[in-house]
Amino acid sequence: MAESFTIHLSSPVLRPESPARFMQEFHYADLGRQIAQILVTQTETGSVLRGILEWVGSLFPADCCLMVVRDPQDQGLQTHIWQSPGPNAPFLPEELATLEGVNWLEILDGANLVAISDPHRAWAEVLGPEAGAGVPVGRVLAITTRFQGEINGAIIVMRGCLRVGLEQKMPSAGRTRVENLQQSQGSYWTSMEMMNLTALSEQVAIAFNQVLQTQAVGSLEQQVRQKEKYQTLIHELTITIHRGADIERILQMAIHSLAETLQADRGRILLLKYADPLFKPGVQPSNRMAASREGDSERPPDSAASRIPKAKVTVVSDSIPQAQEDLESFTPLGEGQSSGTPGDRSFWLSECYWCQQAFLAAPNSLAIADLRSLLTLNPAIGTSPIFSPETMPALLTFPLVGIPSAGSGPGKVLGFLVLEHSTPRQWQEEELRLVELVAAQLSTAILHRQTMQQVQALVEERTAQLQRSLDVQAKLYEKTRQQIDQLRQLNQLKDEFLTTLSHELNTPLTSMKVAIQMLRQPGITPDRQTRYLDILESEWRRESNLVRDLLKLQEYESNQATIHVQNLDLKLVLNEIANSFQDKFEEKGLNLSLDLPKRAPKGIGKKFFKLNTDAESFERILHELLTNAGKYSDPGTTVYLQAAHHIDLQQNQVIVTLTNTGAGISPEDLPHIFEKFRRGQGVTQQAIGGTGLGLALVKCLVQHLNGSITVSSTPIKDSTVWETCFTLTLPQLVESPLV
């Protein structure tokens, strides 16, 4: 037998001269084209690596090929393996698992090229005498791949594996065939094969880098899709609550959507009904309440059981309605006994260990990856039949907590939001945050329902009393009812404002967050970096303008703004404003026509077309109106800005009209056009930007200047477009005598 050897090479072995060198370079280029063809034809990362492995195996040829990919970010290794097909495959499944578990980069130790002719000696030297025992590994040719100077993987080619495997598995009578196979495959690696593998390493390193980038982009896209699902769930739940749906529908929609979004196998909502309605968390229960139902001795004051109130737990919503076969015989527990009512999904809090732990953990969540491990340590744990640790071992319980009053400690636990999974599962931080948001909204909805029930009960009681009273008492009832309706309307307006404001604040932040994440990707091109920076700047400006407009509105609505009266030359002011919008309108294909008086009437003199007003407020009004006209005008139309000065013995005022042609304002939206965050129908579908604060700010500024503004929108005859006209009337804040 020939003496075994191992060769470590830092560069290709042969450097042939021309024309052989030309043919070698041509051959290397052909190898690169083969790799490039695989990258082009295969779309999935797994298909790319499998294609390269099969091609490398046929190129050498080899019994087995391995590729190791290292992620430079987390230094994780991905091992992919291919072996020659057929009934006499060199490796068994358990042997493949052994090869996949080997740290090949540690074995190669950064060497550019390694050729091993004696596999038994190599395994003993690298992994120890017992390592790889029984694994039929033959001769090995391996090389590390480098991208931009860093090792990002390795290629390992094995030959002669079949011989070793068959020597272990075949009887001695069949070894003659094996020896012939050994001789046909050659004894050593040729120089051409070493050069081929060296040439391949550069192209494969590029392929590895592309695979890693594709996986990174796919991971980011998956995170974005997941966050979009989370946002959609919160948005739909908010809309459902905002529309005033009944609490049963809200709870059912919430638990079904949450279980579907988090891919949990089951979700439930449990509500508590306290035997003591005045129970407060953190307050020591009385001795009577601390005692057991069977008359047991009183619990120690500082025990956990003493903090468990007497309360009934009821399953009110389920992610799988009418599929609870395990609850068909489940009955609520009475004072020491069952009520005997089949199908009622209720039980006492003191009967279920998991609910007790969730109650004690409030307001924090109770997340358990595997209930069976806890039951193994404590088999005597008592639990409700609704929990099945054997079929649903993963449990996440989040308390529904009421809003605590000032100085009264933690809020009252209203119930629990429960998610279960059929396999052990580690609940992720993002999942916990999502469940926390849903639980907070459900808690608010439940409190709102309870409050409304209390208010309704109070109204009904007051109504019964007023029906028996005199006319004065009847009028008092009517006034009280009107006040309640006003409170409801104010509460609805507040909810609308908070919902819209939350959306307008969160939308730019979400875009900014995504842009920041994309900027943090390694190897981002300058063009993409510039685009994401532009997105960040645009969304920052949008957020800044929104905050600025809100502060401005608050200032004017609270009458804290001051007026700086100046005498304005309207021709000069209007011309400057029109010129500033000329380029913007031309980019949108719009024309701007400015119509001003030609000359002053006789007897008016220099006071004509002058306005005593606050210059900043006046210019902001015109800026918002022109911006609004630019958004909603059809391309190719003209925006008309006209101004007139009406002076007589009764009045001295300036009237400015702004007319544009476009989609118009529907009669339903026209009375609300100056309300905050109110935008016309179709604006969202047309993707027209804006916050809905511009016209509300215009209304405040006009009132601030003691003026008035009206709007009209009418369809043009024999056309599908509308003509919208804003009319602004401003008086002289300081009257000046006529010349």
pLDDT category at 183 given cuts 50, 70, 90 is very low
- The CATH 3.30.565.10 domain(s) of the chain lie at 565-731
Any bridge partners for residue 541, and if so which? none
Distance, CA of 159 to CA of 351 (rounded, Å): 66
Q: Which pair of structure tokens corresponds to residue 248?
A: 């049963």
The pLDDT of residue 386 is 86
Distance, CA of 326 to CA of 389 (rounded, Å): 13
Distance, CA of 442 to CA of 401 (rounded, Å): 9
pLDDT tens string 501-537: 677 778 888 888 888 888 888 888 888 888 888 888 8
Average pLDDT value for residue range 417-421: 92
The pLDDT of residue 109 is 76
More confident residue, 16 or 237: 237
Contact predicate 66/102, CB 8 Å: no
- The CATH 3.30.450.40 domain(s) of the chain lie at 6-216, 247-284+307-456
Q: Which amino acid is at 48?
A: V
What is the three-class DSSP state of 76? coil
Average pLDDT value for residue range 324-342: 39
Contact predicate 112/9, CB 8 Å: yes
Distance, CA of 65 to CA of 142 (rounded, Å): 10
Instruction: For residue 391, give Cα distances in angstroms to 266, 275, 315.
Output: 11, 32, 19
Please measure the distance between the N-terminal and C-terminal CA atoms of the chain and give it in whole angstroms. Answer: 124
Cβ count within 10 A of residue 15 = 10
Q: Classify 469-555 by CATH class.
A: mainly alpha
Phi first, then psi, for residue 418 (nearest 5°) are -120, 130
Smallest Cα–Cα separation from 391: which of 326, 440, 442, 455?
326
Distance, CA of 389 to CA of 317 (rounded, Å): 20
- The CATH 1.10.287.130 domain(s) of the chain lie at 469-555
Q: How many residues does the chain have?
A: 739
pLDDT tens string 131-148: 545 566 778 888 989 888
The pLDDT of residue 174 is 36
What is the three-class DSSP state of 192? helix
Strands in 64-70's sheet, in edge-to-edge order, are: 6-9, 113-116, 139-147, 150-159, 64-70, 77-83
pLDDT category at 41 given cuts 50, 70, 90 is confident
> 515: number of CA atoms within 13 Å, CB side?
19
pLDDT tens string 272-309: 988 887 776 655 444 433 333 333 444 444 455 667 88
More confident residue, 347 or 103: 347
Alpha-carbon Rg for the chain in angstroms: 39
Phi first, then psi, for residue 446 (nearest 5°) are -65, -45
Angle at 662 between CA 659 and CA 663, to 5 degrees: 125
Average pLDDT value for residue range 681-686: 48
**CATH code for 6-216?**
3.30.450.40
247-284+307-456 to CATH, choices 3.30.450.40, 1.20.210.10, 3.40.50.2300, 3.40.50.720: 3.30.450.40
- Please give the share of the chain, as a percent, with pLDDT higher than 90: 13
Contact predicate 603/738, CB 8 Å: yes
pLDDT tens string 595-611: 998 877 765 666 788 88
| Least reliable range by pLDDT among 47-51, 123-127, 714-718 | 123-127
Evaluate if residue 645 carries a pLDDT over 80: yes
More confident residue, 401 or 464: 401
The pLDDT of residue 177 is 33
pLDDT tens string 483-496: 888 888 777 766 76
Phi first, then psi, for residue 484 (nearest 5°) are -65, -40
Beta-strand runs (E) in 546-590:
565-569
Q: Which amino acid is at 17?
A: E
Distance, CA of 713 to CA of 641 (rounded, Å): 16
Architecture of domain 565-731: 2-Layer Sandwich (3.30)
